[in-house]
Amino acid sequence: MYQINFNHPEYIHFIGIGGISMSGLAEILLDRGFRVSGSDMKESEITKHLESKGAVIMIGQRAENVRPDMKAVVYTAAIHPDNPEYQAVQAAGIPMLTRAQLLGQLMKNYHEAVAISGTHGKTTTTSMLTEILLKAGKDPTISVGGMLDSIGGNVRVGQSDCFVTEACEYTNSFLSFYPTTAAVLNIKEDHMDFFKDIGDIRHSFRQFMELVPASGYVVISDEIENLEELTAGLCCRVIRFGQKLSSRFHAAEVSYDRDGCPSFTLTDTESGQNHPIGRITLHVPGAHNLNDALAASALAIMLGVPFEAIREGLRSFHGAHRRFEHKGDVAGITIIDDYAHHPDEIRASLAAARRCSFRELWCVFQPHTYSRTKAFLEGFADALAGADHVILADIYPARETDTLGVSSEDIHRLLKEKGVDSYYLPTFDEIEKFVLTTCQPGDMLITMGAGDVVNVGENLLKR
């Protein structure tokens, strides 16, 4: 594998540079003085930002984008061998790295390299830890899978020896990492186009935890099934968080305000007693955010951060973009956008919404990928039944083509069988018109999914 020397900048090209993680890595290289170019299928705010930082951006992926003076090319999991740009790189004999391999090489440069994994909650927990570390004056370098206002985007280049990143299990990407501290928030079935079953997923997370050296820590949720089996024999120290008696860090005296935002007393049981560390108040709703805050707090304590910085960091966190994000109000309807695209995430987001004040709850859901829709048809219907009304858009294909014979109409049918008020409206234009004529003042409308369903709410707010 080609090894990048981060102290000797050279020319690196990215295929798929507009992706949230790829763009972050490209920006880190630009900050280190590298010459960077990249291609993407369409222009975006991300590509424009990279251009402003000095990157050369090409719209469209084609063979002529490849130059002989490129020292290495980085590509994403969405780029397949039949991609013309990928083929041209191979034909030219230019070394190639996956996104994960580049991220792993970058991690080697930091004394404290924190990798946050889990089927869901990675972006929120990474963002929460970012706020904490900033309050503590740690000056970290951050790579997060969402846009965070406090760092002005999805990446922050610090000058300290601390690096924090998300660690995604898809295609076993996180097995290319070199963490000194790792977090495992949860382990659920997902990405079934790659993994065989839950046993296969658990095996990958075990391999990920084995990457942490004996001097490091794994911070892990006590809610994960058969946890002892998963962590037995690890050389590093295992720190549990959750609501069980076996959890070292847990939340006591939990309460919620009228907007569904929790407050709790962070408690440490290391001494064998429930030792209260201090009171924490969040400004993001839902029990899932409380759980992510527990993980971020545990990580921060392991990194030597004082409690006051933890309290202030979490108090100042108002969510990453697309994580239960309040977009605005139109005709008396509150518009929320959320990235949830797994049944557990949908269930958690709708439960958080239920703690808020509204007349009726509407959910516009855009399933993400055909394989995920096929794998979780029943799960999607069960989770979406938590809304009063559901509107289904067509599936967002992402990296896939329709070969599985599944559609949003299948979820619609299951919801109708459950007695849920459900509608299938394939296009955003149809959905927007329906919302404006059907929703009532005082209703809450959540646009939900990992694709481009966010545009529905944004278009409504422009009308």
Positions marked catalytic: 122-123, 166
For the stretch 323-326, contacts whose Cβ atoms lie closer than 8 Å and that sit 24 or more positions apart, written own/partner, are: 323/123, 323/124, 323/127, 323/146, 323/284, 324/284, 324/285, 324/286, 324/289, 324/349, 324/352, 324/353
Helix count and strand count (H, E) for the chain: 15, 21
Tokens standing for residue 224: 């994960």
What single-letter DSSP state applies at residue 3?
Answer: -
Other Cβ atoms less than 10 A from the Cβ of 434: the count is 14
**Partner residues linked to 340 by β-bridges:** none
- Listed residue (307, 304, 303) closest to 275, CA to CA: 307
268: Cα separation from own chain's centroid: 27
Please classify residue 269 by burial: count the beta carbons closer than 10 Å to its beta carbon, then call 0-12 exposed, 13-18 middle and 19+ buried.
middle
Distance, C-alpha 324 to centroid of its chain: 13
Nearest in space to 388 (alpha carbons), one of 426, 420, 354: 420
- Give the residue ranges of DSSP H helices in 93-221: 99-107, 122-135, 198-209
β-partners of residue 167 are 117
Distances (CA, A) of 392 to 323, 362, 428: 19, 11, 10
Q: Which phi and psi angles does 447 have, rounded to 5°?
A: -90, 130
Q: Are 25 and 2 a contacting pair, CB within 8 Å?
A: no
Strand 181-184 to 217-221 pairing: parallel
CA atoms within 13 A on the CB side of 158: 20
Distance CA 289, CA 345 (A): 11
Cβ(368)–Cβ(375) under 8 Å?
no
